[in-house]
């Protein structure tokens, strides 16, 4: 019985160490900006543009200022 407990304790310890090593080594190498960048579709021309470059209006998104103007001028 004590052997089983020891085995579980060792597995738990190894798992904790492996997890912390994986976490610390994986984080700095992951370029977070690239993986988190969502591509948003322009409601006027359909082009996919990175989320940080998109132009937001009340309920629509555009790839550029010109398309926002063009879409709102034409009913």
Which residues contact Zn ion by CB under 5 A? 42, 44-45, 47, 63, 67
Q: How far is the CB of 34 from Zn ion (least distance, A)?
A: 23
**Computed over its alpha carbons, how large is the radius of gyration of the chain?**
25
Nearer to Zn ion, 20 or 47 (CB): 47
Closest CA to 69 of 60, 52, 9: 60
Query: Nearer Cβ to Zn ion, position 19 or 56?
Result: 56
Nearer to Zn ion, 37 or 47 (CB): 47
Secondary structure (3-state) at 50: strand
- In whole angstroms, what is the distance from residue 7 CA to residue 13 CA? 10
Distance in Å, CB of 36 to Zn ion, minimum:
22
Least Å from the CB of residue 63 to Zn ion: 4
CA 42 remoteness from chain centre? 20
């Amino acid at each position: 019985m004590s052997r089983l407990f020891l085995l579980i304790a060792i597995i738990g310890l190894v798992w904790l160490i492996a997890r912390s090593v994986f976490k610390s080594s994986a984080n700095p190498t992951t370029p977070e900006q690239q993986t988190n960048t969502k591509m948003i579709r322009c409601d006027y021309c359909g082009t996919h543009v990175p989320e940080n470059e998109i132009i937001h209006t009340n309920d629509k998104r555009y790839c550029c200022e010109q398309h926002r103007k063009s879409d709102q001028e034409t009913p």
